[in-house]
């Protein structure tokens, strides 16, 4: 009895639940005859003097004879419905019965606690059990796995083996999932070996978990080997491999697996579509995303939960914000995730007023904003020059008891910096209640580059160097600031620091999607099969846009060369080559969408605006910062990020630090 004292003491508080008993509509005799199958098996007691559940009252007064099946039925029902409080009442009653040492019932109690998320109760019972079997160990390990306590499950497994318990497919499947959760390839390989040792490697559940584990760890080759060796596959194993390819950015492989899955008679689930749509989002593959959307509708699935939000996000990130709005309007249930996805989309497209309106409607409908909501609306205000609105929403965070984080402070610095209020941005940083991070000083540095303020830019760069001397973006920005006004000696110094430190700038590339194929370009690209046609077309376009006012902005060439060489260097940037290719391979009048892995350069931005006048096409450019909707010679960003204010006049008198 002593080994149960701590459990009794822990469950003693359950007696207070008896005070809230409700009347029963069934008589004692009716419950006695129907108790095992009746859904009312968990009906509460008639009064506070009993045991909390009417069935337990009947047992206590002798109207119902308890046995193992009855207790297991009670525990099973508690487990299915997630009724932790009722499960504790049953457990307390068992501890005062003849079944208190019954291993089968103890396993049922342990499983109930684990499935209901009460791991402390489960582990307390586990440690005090006089004997354990394979079910006991598996229940505890599975409980840890299902409640995101992977390390605890992995630590428990060697103890299980030392006690001589033999794992089954459920034990090993849970352990493999744990390895996937923490992306531990080393542990995963060891558990895989155990799967072979205990003859479970060909089991479909274990195999699916192994595929998912290897994919999560980034070893898609091993994942594919396990998948191909599975004699029996299911939707879970297919989804694991498809998701692995999608997560690693291998969209074409993911789609190929999806097509093969359909051909072999397996039905796609919401997880399948979510993974594929996520892959389309990252690559900006709108046409493939539309095809998946059509396939999703054809399969009869509704826009619910994660798949609806992922579809919305795909349209927003692929440059079709209006399609994202349509999806939002058709969602079965609007939640905070879908609202945030819409706000993020508005922010990326520079639609600040729409973001503000969406936020206000969200509040009116009773959806409580979270930290991501405020970050999205602050970013939208920053990119749309809504200075006062941004300040208002930053102050509104306190009303919802949301403490601003580094990202929110960064958004305000960016808001002030884009507005040219560099001194206010600097003062704001100095007054913050938290220590400024690399991101915060980086936002100020970016604003200094935008407004050509070298003195403050050098100051911000120095703060970034102190916090993270290995970050190459800071050196690049500072070099850009110096180069834009011809301070080539300072440019050389910064580049020497980068070279000596082994820092490299990410190579720029642009890509377009044509007929479900993605074509990638780099500056001065000579590898594409249509390179001659592409170069010829751009040379013709370059001549035409010069005739209507385009002047190459050589300040973006960070080389100390003459004007002619600078213009030549600008001629074949990756986004210009991607644009020429798209014009060659898309029908007249259609929208052109270009993606870029870094921020679009100012000269290309200007050139593309003039091209939109010549070819009379809408051109959408997505870079790492935002979407640029360019049409009839103007851009949705209003050229704000390229604006040179009067600060440039003061800049010329700045001295090197």
CA neighbor of 352 nearest in space, from 392, 301, 318, 402: 392
pLDDT of residue 342: 94
Structure tokens at 130: 């006089």
Q: What average pLDDT does range 290-310 have in this prediction?
A: 87
pLDDT of residue 75: 87
Q: How far apart are CA 123 and CA 611, in angstroms?
A: 68
pLDDT of residue 481: 65
Top pLDDT among 640 and 623 is at: 623
- Is 419:385 a contact under the CB 8 Å cutoff? yes
Q: Per-residue pLDDT for 640 more than 60?
A: no
Q: Per-residue confidence at 346, pLDDT binned at 50, 70, 90?
A: very high
pLDDT 10s digits, 585-614:
999 999 999 988 888 888 888 889 999 999
CA neighbor of 223 nearest in space, from 232, 235, 233, 215: 215
Three-state DSSP state, 64: coil
Q: How far is CA 404 from the centre of its chain?
A: 20
Structure tokens at 561: 């060369």
pLDDT 10s digits, 90-148:
888 888 888 888 899 999 999 999 989 888 999 999 998 988 999 999 999 999 998 88
- Is 318:280 a contact under the CB 8 Å cutoff? yes
Query: What's the mean pLDDT when you consider all of the chain?
Result: 81
Helix crossing, 103-115 with 68-81: angle to 10°? 10
Q: What average pLDDT does range 486-496 have in this prediction?
A: 71
- CB count in 10 Å sphere of residue 311: 28
pLDDT of residue 37: 47
CA neighbor of 426 nearest in space, from 445, 451, 405, 452: 445
pLDDT of residue 554: 60
DSSP tag of 45: P
- Is 608:548 a contact under the CB 8 Å cutoff? no
Strand ranges for 461-527 from DSSP E: 509-514, 517-522
pLDDT 10s digits, 371-411:
999 999 999 999 888 999 999 999 999 999 999 999 999 99
Q: How far apart are CA 241 and CA 291, in angstroms?
A: 20
Three-state DSSP state, 554: helix
- CB count in 10 Å sphere of residue 193: 11
Top pLDDT among 650 and 460 is at: 460
pLDDT of residue 525: 77
Q: How far apart are CA 253 and CA 227, in angstroms?
A: 14
Three-state DSSP state, 83: coil
Q: How far apart are CA 195 and CA 477, in angstroms?
A: 52
pTM of the prediction?
Answer: 0.72
Top pLDDT among 233 and 497 is at: 233
For the ranges 38-42, 334-338, 397-401, the lowest mean pLDDT is seen at 38-42
Concatenated DSSP letters for 395-438?
HHGGGGT----HHHHHHHHHHHHHTT-HHHHHHHHHH-SS---H
- CB count in 10 Å sphere of residue 350: 26
Q: What whole-number percentage of the chain has pLDDT above 90?
A: 39
Structure tokens at 112: 């109930």
Q: How far apart are CA 282 and CA 366, in angstroms?
A: 31
Structure tokens at 147: 């409640």
Q: Per-residue pLDDT for 2 more than 60?
A: no
- Is 369:399 a contact under the CB 8 Å cutoff? no
Q: Per-residue confidence at 649, pLDDT binned at 50, 70, 90?
A: very low
- CB count in 10 Å sphere of residue 572: 21
């Amino acid at each position: 009895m002593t080994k149960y004292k701590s459990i009794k003491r822990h469950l003693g508080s359950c007696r207070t639940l008896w005070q809230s008993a409700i009347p029963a509509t069934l008589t004692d005799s009716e419950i006695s005859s129907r108790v095992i199958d009746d859904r009312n098996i968990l009906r509460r007691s008639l009064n506070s003097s009993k045991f909390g559940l009417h069935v337990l009252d009947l047992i206590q007064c002798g109207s119902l004879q308890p046995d193992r099946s009855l207790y297991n039925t009670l525990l099973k029902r508690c487990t299915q419905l997630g009724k932790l409080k009722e499960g504790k009442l049953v457990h307390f009653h068992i501890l005062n019965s003849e079944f208190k040492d019954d291993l089968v019932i103890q396993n049922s109690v342990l499983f109930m606690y684990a499935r209901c998320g009460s791991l402390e109760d489960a582990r307390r019972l586990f440690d005090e059990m006089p004997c354990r079997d394979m079910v006991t160990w598996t229940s505890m390990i599975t409980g840890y796995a299902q409640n995101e306590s992977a390390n605890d499950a992995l630590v428990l497994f060697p103890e299980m083996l030392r006690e001589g318990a033999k794992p089954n497919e459920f034990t090993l499947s849970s352990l493999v999932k744990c390895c996937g959760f923490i992306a531990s390839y080393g542990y995963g390989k060891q558990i895989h070996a155990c799967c072979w040792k205990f003859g479970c490697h060909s089991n479909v559940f274990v195999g699916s978990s192994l595929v998912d584990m290897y994919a999560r760890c980034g070893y898609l080759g091993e994942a594919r080997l396990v998948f191909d060796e599975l004699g029996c596959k299911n939707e879970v194993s297919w989804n694991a491999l498809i998701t692995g390819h999608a997560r690693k950015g291998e969209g074409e492989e993911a789609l190929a697996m999806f097509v093969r899955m359909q051909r072999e008679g397996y039905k796609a689930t919401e997880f399948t579509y979510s993974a594929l749509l996520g892959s389309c989002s990252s690559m900006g593959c709108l046409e493939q995303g539309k095809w998946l959307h059509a396939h999703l509708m054809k399969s009869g699935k509704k826009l619910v939960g994660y798949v609806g939000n992922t579809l919305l996000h795909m349209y927003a990130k692929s440059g079709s914000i209006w399609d994202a709005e349509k999806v939002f309007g058709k969602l079965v249930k609007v939640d905070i995730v879908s609202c945030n996805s819409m706000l993020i989309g508005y922010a990326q497209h520079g639609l600040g007023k729409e973001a503000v309106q969406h936020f206000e409607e969200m509040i009116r409908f009773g959806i409580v904003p979270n930290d991501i909501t405020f970050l999205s609306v602050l970013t939208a205000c920053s990119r749309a020059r809504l200075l006062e609105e941004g300040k208002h929403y930053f102050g509104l965070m306190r009303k919802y008891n949301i403490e601003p984080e580094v990202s929110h402070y960064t958004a305000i610095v960016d808001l002030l910096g884009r507005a040219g209020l560099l001194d206010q941005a600097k003062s704001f940083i100095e007054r913050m209640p938290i220590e400024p991070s690399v991101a915060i000083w980086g936002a100020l540095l970016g604003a200094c580059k935008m407004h050509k303020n070298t003195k403050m830019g050098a100051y911000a760069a120095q703060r970034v160097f102190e916090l993270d001397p290995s970050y190459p973006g800071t050196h690049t920005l500072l070099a850009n600031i110096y180069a834009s006004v011809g301070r080539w000696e300072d440019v050389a110094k910064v580049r020497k620091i980068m070279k000596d430190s082994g820092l490299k700038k990410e190579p720029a590339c642009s890509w377009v999607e044509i007929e479900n194929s993605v074509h990638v370009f780099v500056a001065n690209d000579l590898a594409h099969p249509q390179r001659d046609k592409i170069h010829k077309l751009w040379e013709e376009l370059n001549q035409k846009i010069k005739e209507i006012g385009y002047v190459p902005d050589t300040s973006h060439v960070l080389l100390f060369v003459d004007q002619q060489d600078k213009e030549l260097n600008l001629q074949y940037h990756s986004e210009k080559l991607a644009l020429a290719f798209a014009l060659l391979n898309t029908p007249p009048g259609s929208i052109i969408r270009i993606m870029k892995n870094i921020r679009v350069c100012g000269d290309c931005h200007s050139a593309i605006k003039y091209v939109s006048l010549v070819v009379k096409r809408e051109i959408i450019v997505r870079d790492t910062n935002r979407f640029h909707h360019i049409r009839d010679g103007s851009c949705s960003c209003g050229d704000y990020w390229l604006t040179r204010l009067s600060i440039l006049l003061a800049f010329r008198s700045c001295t090197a630090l």
